[in-house]
Amino acid sequence: MRMLSDIPIAFLMIAAVTLVSAVCAMSLRNLVHCGLCLVLTFVGLAATYLHLSAEFVGFAQVLVYVGAVAILIVFTILLTRNAEVTLSPVSQSSLVGLGIAIAVCGSLVLPLVTSPSLRRLPAQSLAPDAQVQRIGEKLMAQYVIPLEALALVLTAAMIGAVVIAMRDDPERNDPSPSPQNQKDTGSVSNSPAGTALNSSSSTSSSQRP
């Protein structure tokens, strides 16, 4: 059993920031504050990776989660103007919540602990050797099927987003079919997933006074 004083102080600081901000992200009432706390959690995770000298994963975390995912979340919260509404939690019972949390955590930790890859790990650290090229080779050769599966899941999610955007748009535009709105609807219905964001944001900003 390691003593607390054996753990590097930098790690303790990073862990404290990450955990506190994660708890805040779940428990604060103002959605914008929650989103920004989530950003801090992502930054803390990136710092943890960097602290383990996994540079690639660390900066990929910053790029993808902090720079794209979290800003999209904040963007959506601000656009829908629900920021000031104080939401009541889904379930009033904290026992149910605790149970769900333990179940989710257990189902994530269990495969990790029982995974055969854990036994394959050598005693010393791998990290400084983890070149980008090696990561790429591993991803494209050994782990190509999980990679493809992930790509499939993401594509499905994207198609889902497009479908939701398509179903929503005619209803919104029907009462007052101005040329501008019709043009926007057209661009949604026959464009790749990315444009869903594009025209939904452009319509909403043009509809604002």
Residues that bind other proteins (CB under 8 A): 32, 36, 39, 46, 55-56, 59-60, 62-63, 66-68, 71-72, 74-75, 78-79, 83, 131-133, 184, 187, 191-192, 194-195, 197-199, 201-202, 205-206, 208-209
> Judged by CB, which is closer to other proteins: 156, or 183?
183
Q: Taking the complex as a whole, how short is the minimal distance between the CB of residue 201 and other proteins, in angstroms? A: 5
> Judged by CB, which is closer to other proteins: 18, or 40?
40
Q: Taking the complex as a whole, how short is the minimal distance between the CB of residue 101 and other proteins, in angstroms? A: 29
What is the chain written as a DSSP string? ---GGGS-HHHHHHHHHHHHHHHHHHH-SSHHHHHHHHHHHHHHHHHHHHHTT-HHHHHHHIIIIIIIIHHHHHHHHHHHT-TTPPPPPS-S-HHHHHHHHHHHHHHHHHHHHH-THHHHS-SS--GGG--HHHHHHHHHTTTHHHHHHHHHHHHHHHHHHHHHHHHHHHHHHSSS--HHHHHHHHHHHTS-THHHHHHHHHHHHHH--
> Judged by CB, which is closer to other proteins: 97, or 187?
187
| Amino acid, single-letter form, for residue 199 | S
Q: Taking the complex as a whole, how short is the minimal distance between the CB of residue 169 and other proteins, in angstroms? A: 15
Q: Taking the complex as a whole, how short is the minimal distance between the CB of residue 55 and other proteins, in angstroms? A: 5
> Judged by CB, which is closer to other proteins: 5, or 133?
133
CB 57 within 8 A of CB 49: yes
Q: Taking the complex as a whole, how short is the minimal distance between the CB of residue 6 and other proteins, in angstroms? A: 23
> Judged by CB, which is closer to other proteins: 68, or 163?
68
